[in-house]
Chains A and B, each alone.
Chain A
Amino acid sequence: MSTANQSTVIQPDGATAEEFVLSSEERAEIEHEMSHYEDPRAAAIEALKIVQKHRGWVSDGAIYAIAAVLGITPVDLEGVATFYSLIYRRPVGRHVIKVCDSLTCMLMGYESVLDAIKRQLNIDYGQTTQDGRFTLLPTCCLGNCDKGPSIMVDGNTHSHLDAEKMVQLLEQYK
Chain B
Amino acid sequence: MTVASADTHPLTWRLRADDSASDIKLYEANDGYAAVRQILNNTAPADIVKLIKAAGLRGRGGGGFPAGVKWELMPAFDPNAPKRYLLCNADEMEPSTYKDRLLMEQAPHQLIEGMILAAYAIQACNGYLFLRGEYVLAAERMQKALTAAKEAGYLGKNILGSGWDFELVLHTGAGRYICGEETALINSLEGRRANPRARPPFPQVAGLWGRPTIVNNVETLCNVPHILLRGADWYKQLSQGKSTDAGTKLFGVCGRANKPGLWELPMGTTAREILEQHAGGMQDGYELKAWLPGGVSTDFLLPEHLDTPMDFDSIGKLGSRMGTGIITVVDQKPGIITVLRNIEEFFARESCGWCTPCRDGLPWTVKTLQALEQGKGQPGDIEMLERTTKLLSPGYTFCALAPGAMEPLQSALKYFRAEFEQGIAKT
Contacts and interface: CB of A to CB of B under 8 A. Distances in A.
Interface of A: 36-39, 41-46, 48-49, 70, 79-80, 83-87, 98, 101-104, 106-108, 139-148, 152, 155-157
A107 B174 contact: no
Contact of B95 (A80, A87, A103): A103
Interface in B341-387: 342-343, 345-346, 349-350, 352
A145 B190 contact: no
A109 to B, nearest CB: 10
B163 interface: no
Given A101-B342, A107-B334, A140 B191 contact: no
A147 B98 CA distance: 10
B176 to A, nearest CB: 6
Interface of B: 92-98, 100-101, 132-136, 169, 171-177, 188-194, 209, 252-256, 260-262, 292, 296, 326, 328-331, 334, 339, 342-343, 345-346, 349-350, 352
A12 B176 CA distance: 31
User: Which one of A98, A142, A156 has the highest number of Cβ atoms from chain B below 10 Å of its Cβ?
Assistant: A142
Interface of A is mostly: mixed
B365 to A, nearest CB: 15
B364 to A, nearest CB: 20
Contacts of A39: 190-191, 209
Contact of B98 (A42, A84, A145): A145
A103 B174 contact: no
Contact of B134 (A42, A145, A148, A152): A152
Given A45-B191, A79-B193, A102-B296, A145 B177 contact: no
Contacts of B136: 155-157
Contacts of B134: 86, 98, 139, 142-143, 152, 157
A87 B133 CA distance: 10
B346 A140 contact: yes
A57 to B, nearest CB: 13
A61 B111 CA distance: 40
A42 B175 contact: no
A139 B93 CA distance: 10
B93 to A, nearest CB: 6
Contact of A107 (B173, B188, B252, B330): B330
B371 to A, nearest CB: 19
B342 A106 contact: yes
A39 B175 CA distance: 22
B84 to A, nearest CB: 13
Nearest to B211: A38
A150 to B, nearest CB: 10
Nearest to A105: B95
Given A42-B189, A146-B261, A108 B256 contact: yes
Contacts of B331: 107
B281 to A, nearest CB: 15
A49 B343 CA distance: 29
Contacts of A83: 176, 193-194, 352
Contacts of B329: 107
A86 B93 contact: no
User: Which one of A44, A48, A102, A139 has the highest number of Cβ atoms from chain B below 10 Å of its Cβ?
Assistant: A102
Given A80-B191, A80-B192, A140-B177, 8 more contacts: A86-B134, A106-B339, A107-B330, A143-B101, A145-B260, A146-B253, A146-B260, A146-B262
A146 B98 CA distance: 8
A42 B190 CA distance: 4
Contacts of B193: 79-80, 83
24 contacts: A39-B191, A41-B192, A42-B189, A43-B191, A45-B174, A49-B174, A83-B194, A84-B174, A85-B175, A98-B134, A101-B346, A102-B342, A103-B296, A103-B342, A107-B330, A107-B334, A140-B349, A140-B350, A141-B93, A141-B96, A143-B132, A144-B98, A146-B253, A147-B260
A85 B176 contact: yes
A145 B330 CA distance: 13
Contacts of A86: 133-134, 173-175
Contacts of B209: 38-39
A70 B191 CA distance: 10
A104 B175 contact: no
Nearest to B170: A36
Nearest to A44: B191
Contacts of B133: 49, 86
Nearest to A142: B134
Contacts of A157: 134, 136
Smallest CB-CB A-B distances: 8 pairs: A44-B191, A85-B175, A102-B95, A84-B174, A146-B260, A141-B95, A86-B175, A145-B254
B106 to A, nearest CB: 14
Contacts of B132: 143
A103 B350 contact: no
